[in-house]
Amino acid sequence: MIRSRGDLTSTKRWVVKIGSALLTADGKGLARESLSAWVQQMSDRVLAGKQLILVSSGAVAEGMSRLGWQRRPTALHELQAVAAVGQMGLVRAYETCFMKRGLHTAQVLLTHDDLMNRERYLNARSTLRTLMELRVVPVVNENDTVANDELRFGDNDTLAALVANLVDAELLVLLTDQSGLFDADPRFEPDARLISESRVDNSLLEQVAGDSASGFGRGGMATKVRAAGIAARSGAATVIAPGRLDNVLNRIAIGEDIGTLLLPIQGPEAARKRWLAGQLQVRGRLVLDAGAVRVLRESGRSLLAVGVKEVVGNFSRGQVVSCVDELGHEVARGLVNYGSQEASGIKGKPSSQIREILGYMDDEELIHRDNLVLV
C-alpha cells in the first residue's frame, strides 16, 4: 500500500483519467498535441513493463465539435447521439497515437448496469486484466450512447475509481485543469494553498472541494475527492494532478511532489466487499436503531430484523439496499435476504419469529455479514 510519494516509484498498475476540459481545447475539438504527449508518457510505462488503463472523457465534446454544436445538449436522445459521433473521433485519436509507439488499444464502454451484476462485473475484470497482460491499453469510457440516468456513473472520476477497484490498481491518477486540491477555492481566494498530501478520510477535503467550472465536464474537485474514497477501498492511492504540466505522468512516477496525493487509510478490502461498496444504485433503505448501528460498526456482525425500525422502497431478495441510522446517515449497504414486503413484516422482530410471521424462514439474518460492507 502506498504510504508516501516515494512508494509511487514501485507501482505497477495505474488507472489514468483525463477530463474533458483538458482533452477538448476549450470546446474546439480534441487537443491533439496534448493528447499525443499524454499517450507518449503512458506508453513509456507500458513499454517499461507496467500496466495501465486509460479512462477518457471527451466523447460528447468531440461530437459537439464535429457537429458544429455550441452548447451541450440536454435531451437524452441528443446527448446519446452526439456521444456516438464523438466516440469515433476520440478512439481514433488514441489508436493512432498509441500505434506510433507500437502499442495496441482496446475500447471498453461501461454502464453502471455492467458492474451491478456480479457475473458481468467479474467478466469485465477478467477482460481488462487480460488486455493489460497482453500489453494492450484499454480505453474506457461510460457508454453514453445507451446509458440512461439510472444506469449512469455520473462522472468519469467515479468510473475511474470503480475501474481501479475492479482491477486492483495501486494508483489512480486524475488529470485535471487545476494544479490539485487547495484548502480554499483558488478562483476566489488568492491565498489558497495547495494540499500536497492527505489521508483520504480527512474531513477537510470535501469541505474545500468545489464544483466543476467547465461547461463540458460533469466532475469537479468534489467528485475527485469522492472518487479517491472509492479507490481507497482497493488500497489504491489517488493523485489529482495538473494535466497540462510538462511530462506530468513520468514525474508522478518518480515520486515528484506534483498535485495532491490522497492516501488510503487501510489495506484493500475483499473484492466482494469492494463490489458491494461500489454500487451506486441502491434499491431501498433500512433505517436502523442505535443498537444495530453500534453492532455493525463495532462488531462486524450480520444485520438482524430486530434492529430495523423502518423499511423504505421497493426491493427484492438479493438486491442492494442502504442501511442508515435514524438521522439518515448511511452506515452500510448489502444484499438483502428478504424483499421489501417481507422485511416490513419482520422489522423489529427477533429472528425466532420470522417463520411464524412469514410462514417460512429462508435466513435468520436480514443481511448476512459476508454480504454487508460498511461505508
Q: Any idea where the domains of the chain sit in the sequence? A: 5-274, 282-374
Beta-bridge partner residues of 141 = 109
pLDDT tens over the chain, length 375 residues? 898 999 999 999 999 999 888 987 665 678 889 999 999 999 999 999 999 999 998 888 888 889 989 888 888 888 889 888 999 999 999 999 999 999 999 999 988 778 877 888 889 999 999 999 999 999 999 876 665 554 355 688 999 999 999 999 999 999 999 999 998 877 788 888 999 999 998 888 877 775 544 444 444 788 899 999 999 988 999 999 999 999 999 999 999 999 999 999 888 877 778 888 877 678 899 999 999 999 999 988 999 999 999 999 999 998 899 999 999 999 999 999 999 999 999 999 999 999 999 999 989 999 999 889 998
Homologous superfamily of 282-374: PUA domain (2.30.130.10)
| CA 256/CA 351 separation, integer angstroms | 56
Asked if 5-274 and 282-374 have one fold, the answer is: no
CA angle 3, 173, 232 (to 5 degrees): 50
Gap between the Cα atoms of 215 and 218, Å rounded: 8
CATH fold of 5-274 reads Carbamate kinase (3.40.1160)
C-alpha R_g of the chain: 22
Whether the pTM exceeds 0.85: the reply is no
Predicted pLDDT of residue 330: 93
Q: How far apart, in whole angstroms, are the C-alpha atoms of residue 182 and residue 193?
A: 5
